[in-house]
Structure 1
């Protein structure tokens, strides 16, 4: 993330082991890298919960980034975040990324609830979460994104066994 903040895309790609795209050095992405680095500096144990690249297929195609906003809170809630680069949108990558985030959350014993906070105008993300059992529980104001609708779903719904019995979208 430090290399990305410095605009060193090739160095960041070498360190990540995959070819990152210009999407990772946009102003919006750089804000995220700084925010996450500050979080990890405050508590290095949070690093495993933070953002990572979303990689698809055997050739390591990087379509965006994904992760959690931090470790589970005292109630067991984690908030997800994902972003797909414009060239890869509307191809199912956001849905696939969401499936993996939900499976990862369900595999963590400390996680009981998964939250998604989405701008009311982000029609694509609202559609992405709609088939996964998320329920709108309120709204919040985000200093970076403005008004967000808050959705939650029990993490246990996405364990391997629960997924086999009641897969998302059913």
Structure 2
């Protein structure tokens, strides 16, 4: 089944003021997968993204970029759904005495695991940079993804997979309205609880 792609973004939501979810340029994803943060940052800067944090080239994240790039290589339509960056706009960058402008900071990554499956399900996955955790960033970013899923034509279900001992992530998805529907054993991550939400229009 063919699904129209979501809007290019940046994605925002009135329920998450100050936050935007930006597409990661494909060449920047390739640079991140290679562990080349300076190159990735220069490519991201060209599309007005803030500096990229080091956590984006952790071993775990490089593995994610590799899997996402493999997915896109097999099916270019996947790119519109995957691997975006969470930008938080904070007032505090002063241009002059008494004058302030917003300064964006990348606080994490988020995206769908791919385009919708045959039942119209998209799965959301995210990670917040360690220094920005427990500050509400995940809640805000997931809120944006819920709104995107609701607006996307043909999407019926939003899904999230959470390891049973990841209480912080469980709190985020349950707080967003997703309900536990079962468990599965993932080939790489092990046991996971499955949460879902009806987002059909």
Structures share fold, TM-score greater than 0.5: yes
Looking at secondary structure, tell me which structure has more helix per residue: 1
Q: Partner of 1:141 in structure 2? A: 185
Q: Could you list the per-position Cα deviations for residues 26-54 of structure 1 after superposition, in whole angstroms to 9, with x for gaps in the alignment?
A: 00000000000000000001100011111
2:86–2:106 CA contact under 8 A, matched in 1: yes
Q: Partner of 2:138 in structure 1? A: 94
Q: Partner of 2:88 in structure 1? A: 56
Verify: 1:4 aligned to 2:48, yes or no: no
RMSD: 1.2
Total equivalences in the alignment:
157
Distance 1:25 1:74 in 2: 32
- State the 1:133 CA deviation: 2.1
2:156–2:199 CA contact under 8 A, matched in 1: yes
Within the candidate set 41, 46, 62, 2:73 is matched to 41
**Normalised by the size of structure 2, how large is the TM-score?**
0.75
User: Matches of residues 26-37 of structure 1 in structure 2 within 5 Å?
Assistant: 26-37=58-69
Distance 1:80 1:19 in 2: 24
- Give runs of ≥4 in structure 1 deviating > 6 Å: none
User: Matches of residues 15-164 of structure 1 in structure 2 within 5 Å?
Assistant: 15-17=43-45, 18-57=50-89, 58-156=102-200
Q: Partner of 2:4 in structure 1? A: none
Q: Equivalent residue of 1:72, what SS? A: coil
Deviates more, 1:133-142 or 1:37-46: 133-142
Which structure has the larger Rg?
2
2:142–2:176 CA contact under 8 A, matched in 1: no
Looking at secondary structure, tell me which structure has more strand per residue: 2
- State the 1:132 CA deviation: 2.3
- State the 1:144 CA deviation: 2.3
Q: Equivalent residue of 1:78, what SS? A: strand
**Normalised by the size of structure 1, how large is the TM-score?**
0.89
2:139–2:176 CA contact under 8 A, matched in 1: no
Distance 2:172 2:160 in 1: 11
Q: Which stretches in structure 2 are left out of the alignment for 5+ residues?
A: 1-28, 90-101
